[in-house]
A and B are shown apart, each in its own frame.
Chain A
């Protein structure tokens, strides 16, 4: 069974069979990553461009590695949006790149909707690597993979996303994906970090981190954007840490196994302490490895569709 779409724009509306197919395919590629020769010829002859309009190190490297391990030819186009705003339009840039004959575009952009727009002006397969505050589907897929790897399932688990949900594309993709896979999803953070209408997505809202820890199997801890939040949505990172930070003391209160995810990069001492970030419950570095496998799976499934 192939995927139901030739693009991966987000997880909203993506059927469960597709998510399962990606997660299952990733298991195979995860094994490839442990081999001495970490390369397969699957996408030989395919050309992929990584179109990054927003700073990103991890996601770009992860995609690039995934592409190289599948033997695809890759080109990177990185630019800050401010420089392109003045000169060539986005459409012209894409048309120019398109004219060079490529098969897939991995795109990250500050504006939501850009991946969808790309499907209208390009014939390539489009993969969303993060658009505005909208979606970051491969991140959510690797989160789900990591949860499944640790706990053996997703269905029926209680997963809480902690932090600035209102300004997080990771949160939204996780909510859509996890709910499709049968998990119970909740969010936790101060009211200023909760987006309008979130309850209508069938998501429980906590403002108390201790209750959230007590009632959930998994915590997906979001990065606090120091420059964005302090003073406007929270009084200070110190106050945030005091009331929402994930500490080993807080976890110890409940004497239970819990899985801690973090999409990185970590602000140690703000949303999570070093003790937890390096401790037994975290799967943070597994997420990074799994990210390559997930992206290989997505690239493979889309790149070999007919």
Chain B
């Protein structure tokens, strides 16, 4: 089976590539790059890509798939479908499932269940058994089974002593430790602490709850020489801490979720639980520092923190509703609208943050536009204007604050090997 992407702008900052060309893919392998005469491609399926971009397949390193345990909210399959619809060819799934991803069996279960899908699913293992922060998970075994990072996801690794052990142990595999940075003793709240929490009568979580653990983790990364990755960074101070740590050569990387560069805690005024997440939406000053951090590289990547919740769970009184929102199917559109079209990042910079950097952090190869390489790419129409409609989501859940929002930019198709997702459907090429 063959397919041709005609007149597509190929962008891969990792190859310093930015040029218009055509691409011929056969049996999942890139066979030709360059000008293709009509005669050469008359028997091929041709996708006219005028005005569109092809990038190395996008990668989301922070996704909650809910399987095993909460298949009513999302499954490996529906989450992967949502990823493909959102333009992603690879995702890393977080370990807060039930059971947690803290055994080789669970890792193998996820890899087995996802292996025939277009989207590559890479499990993140728990750092400690049951994510309880008490005893190390069998990390060596998990690595052999296929994890790409560890995390106690949902909470920071409980104490400094266990954190030290996890970091030292993971250093042997050059495995990143992903941290949800939050001091639980300061985190007894439903939104960011500030004037808005006072006005709305909701208990607040101060940003220092995040900053303290970011500081601790950076210092421990320096002490152990290991790699720490800060998940969903949300506060200005934390961004500054990461910036300074990087200058010193400490091995720290960071991701931000789209809602933290799109919204502030002003949104909570409606008490809409689709604005309840952890870390919470913060202030304009935090948002501005995040934009600065994205631009100067303090923040390495964008990751959705895709967190499906059932309607009945999310439609609860604000203080009882669970944290988190969907992200896979809106992330690219939000990032293009808020970052590229508003001139915060160039397209190249965005692609680094949505594809190149997350793969590098997880020690995964970055797809290349080269003859002989497996095709792993996303075709993007950066100027396509569309309205988010959560009834059209591939995800099993609907908890998105972006419903009815107008966005500019969308994934048109994704290709991974001999599989393509296009026009809402999967097929083989």
Q: Which residues of A come within 8 Å of B, CB atoms?
A: 12, 81, 85, 89-91, 109-114, 116-117, 131-135, 166, 169, 172, 195-198, 200-201
Tell me which of B45-53, B113-121, B190-198, B298-306 binds A: B190-198
Contact A132 B198 (CB under 8 A): no
Whether the Cβ atoms of A113 and B198 lie closer than 8 Å is: no
Q: Which residue of B lies closest to A194 (CB)?
A: B198
Q: In the complex, what residues of A have CB within 8 A of residue B200's CB?
A: 112-113, 134
Cβ of A90 and Cβ of B195 under 8 Å apart?
A: no
A116 contacts B271, C-beta separation under 8 Å:
yes
Q: A131-B201, A132-B202, A197-B194 are in contact. Are A112 and B315 (CB under 8 A)?
A: no
Which of A89, A90, A110, A195 meets B198, CB within 8 Å? A195
* Residues of chain B lying within 8 A (CB to CB) of residue A201: 198-199
Would you call the interface of chain B mostly helix, strand, loop, or mixed?
Answer: loop
Which residue on chain A has the smallest CB distance to residue B203?
Answer: A133
Residues of A within 8 Å of B204, CB to CB, are: 196
Interchain CB contact under 8 A, A114 and B195 = no
Query: Which residues of B lie under 8 Å from residue A135 when comparing CB positions?
Result: 201
Asked if B318 and A111 sit within 8 Å, CB to CB, the answer is: yes
Let me know if B244 is at the binding interface, CB within 8 A.
Answer: no
CB within 8 Å: A-B pair count:
67
* Residues in chain B near residue A90, CB distance under 8 A: 316-317
B317 contacts A109, CB within 8 Å?
Answer: yes
How far is it, in angstroms, between the C-alpha of A116 and the C-alpha of B319 when the chains are bound?
A: 14
**What residues of chain B lie closer than 8 Å to A109, measured between beta carbons?**
317
Chain B residues contacting A131 (CB-CB under 8 Å) are 201
Q: A110–B318 Cα gap in the complex (Å)? A: 10
- Contact present for B195 and A196 (CB under 8 Å): yes
Q: Could you list 5 A-B pairs, sorted by A, with CB under 8 Å?
A: A112-B201, A112-B202, A132-B319, A197-B194, A200-B195
Report the count of interface residues on B (CB-CB < 8 A): 21
Say whether, besides A109-B317, A111-B319, A134 and B195 are in contact (CB < 8 Å): no
Knowing A12-B199, A169-B201, A172-B201, say if A112 contacts B318 (CB, 8 Å).
Answer: yes
B319 near A110 with CB under 8 A, answer yes
Q: Give bound CA distance, A157 to B372, whole Å.
A: 82
- Mark each residue of chain B from 394 to 410: 1 if its CB lies under 8 Å from any CB of chain A, else 0: 00000000000000000
Query: Given A134-B200, A135-B201 in contact, is the A111-B317 Cβ separation under 8 Å?
Result: yes
B168-204 interface mask toward A, CB cutoff 8 Å, 1 = contact, 0 = none?
0000000000000000000000000111011111111
Instruction: Provide the residues of chain B in CB contact with A81, threshold 8 Å.
Output: 317, 320
With both beta carbons as reference points, the residue of chain B lying nearest to A197 in the complex is identified as B195
**Chain A contacts of B195 at CB under 8 A?**
196-197, 200
In the docked arrangement, what's the CA distance between A117 and B270, Å?
9
CB of B14 to closest CB in A, whole Å: 44
Query: Complex: how many Å from CA A110 to CA B201?
Result: 10
> In the complex, A85 Cα to B319 Cα: how many Å?
11
Residues of B within 8 A of A134 (CB): 200-202
With a CB–CB cut-off of 8 A, which chain A residues contact B316?
89-90
Contacts of B199 in A (CB 8 A): 12, 172, 197, 201
B312 and A196: CB pair below 8 A?
A: no
Decide yes or no: A113 and B318 within 8 Å by CB, A133-B202, A196-B197, A196-B198 being known contacts: yes
> Contact: A113 with B271, CB < 8 Å?
yes
In the assembled complex, the Cα of A169 lies from the Cα of B199 at a distance in Å of: 10
Q: What 1/0 flags go to B212-234 for Cβ under 8 Å of A?
A: 00000000000000000000000
For the complex, what is the distance from the CA of A90 to the CA of B193, rounded to whole Å? 26
In the bound assembly, the distance between CA atoms of A198 and B317 in angstroms comes to 25
Question: Given A117-B271, A134-B202, A197-B198: A89 and B318 within 8 A (CB)?
Answer: no
User: Nearest chain-B residue to A116 (Cβ)?
Assistant: B271
- Shortest CB distance A223–B (Å): 17
Report whether B198 and A112 are in contact in the complex, using a CB–CB cutoff of 8 Å.
no
In this complex, the member of B198, B203, B316 whose beta carbon has the largest number of chain A beta carbons within 10 angstroms is: B198
A162 CB, nearest partner CB in chain B, Å: 18
Q: Taking CB as reference atom, which chain B residue is nearest A121?
A: B315
- Give A197 to B195 CA distance when docked, in angstroms: 5
Max count, chain B CB within 10 A of own CB: residue among A85, A109, A111, A112? A112
Partner of A111 from B194, B206, B312, B320 at Cβ < 8 Å: B320
Q: How far is the CA of A133 from the CA of B196 in the complex (A)?
A: 12
* New A-B pairs, 9, CB < 8 Å, besides A12-B199, A81-B320: A85-B320, A89-B312, A89-B315, A112-B271, A112-B319, A117-B271, A134-B200, A134-B202, A197-B199
CB-nearest residue of chain A relative to B313? Answer: A89
